[in-house]
Amino acid sequence: MSLPDELKQECEGAFEIFTKESADGKLGPDELNKVLRMLGQTPSDDEVAEVINDYAEGETLALDEFLDFMAKQLSGSQDKREEDLSKEFKNLLRETFRWYDKDADGIISWNELKLALKGTGEVIQDWEVDEMMKDGDENSDKVLDFDEWINMMKELEGHIQC
Ligand SMILES: [Ca+2]
Ligand SMILES: [Ca+2]
């Protein structure tokens, strides 16, 4: 089973965020633990080690290994309903939102947006942050709340069922 495109992009984004946060730039047990918790699981160290063991060639997960693992995680059994998938996807978005929202006040400010975009390693100009902010900010209060942010992600990544 492979991931739908939009889900794949989101997983790649999550991978980038978590590897950026890690000291060595790789997805090791600590980061994997966070990913699993984000998906609502409470894995033991042994379980985390088992996943690394099963999916990683070395001690850390490479992007394609991570995607492979996420595909299995999100699909569960073959007949798992699509609703569950979008629920988990929404959780993923929610968690990404938390990464953007550095001061955890429930909104993404211009500075937080810029910081997060810079965190992806891309060179971001102020006007690009302006544009994104303007596109996403539906009620023109100069910040992005969670709904606005979800809508923005939907538009960025095409049609997503949430
Ligand atoms: Ca904030
Ligand atoms: Ca707003």
Residue 34: predicted pLDDT: 84
Tell me what pLDDT residue 153 has.
78
Query: Could you tell me the CATH number of the domain that includes residue 105?
Result: 1.10.238.10
Half-sphere exposure of 60 (CA within 13 A, CB side): 14
What's the whole-number average pLDDT of the chain? 82
- Within a domain: residue 88? no
Q: Near ion ligand 1, which residues have CB within 5 Å?
A: 101, 103, 105
pLDDT given at position 49: 93
- Asked whether residue 96 is assigned to any structural domain, the reply reads no
| 3-class secondary-structure state, position 61 | strand
Distance 106 CA to ligand 2 centre (A): 11
Ligand found nearest the CA of 110: 1
- CA 98–ligand 1 middle distance (angstroms): 9
Indicate if 67 and 143 belong to the same structural domain: no
Q: Return d(Cα 147, Cα 120) in angstroms, integer.
A: 22
The span from the CA of 87 to the CA of 154, in Å, is: 14
Q: Do residues 14 and 56 both lie within one domain?
A: yes
- The ligand whose atoms approach the alpha carbon of 97 most closely is 1
Expressed in angstroms and rounded, the spacing between residue 25 Cα and the centre of ligand 1 is 25
Q: Let me know if residue 89 belongs to a domain.
A: no
How many domains does the structure of the chain reveal?
A: 2
Check residue 71 and give its pLDDT. 83
Answer yes or no: pTM beyond 0.75: no
Residue 68 Cα to chain centre, angstroms: 15
Sequence-ordered strand ranges (E) for the chain: 107-108, 144-145
Whether residue 93 lies inside any domain: the answer is no
107 and 75, same structural domain? no
Residue 156 has pLDDT above 70, yes or no: no
pLDDT at 162: 44
Residues 77 and 117 in one domain: no
Instruction: Give the domain extent around 105.
Output: 101-156
Q: Is the pLDDT of residue 5 over 90?
A: no
**pLDDT value at position 137?**
96
| Residues 114 and 62 grouped into a single domain | no
Per-residue pLDDT tens digits for 58-111: 889 999 999 888 888 776 544 455 666 677 777 888 888 888 899 999 999 999
Same domain? For 121 and 58 the reply is no
Q: Cα(136) to centroid of ligand 2, in Å?
A: 7
> Is 19 in the same domain as 74?
yes
66 plus 110 within the same structural domain: no
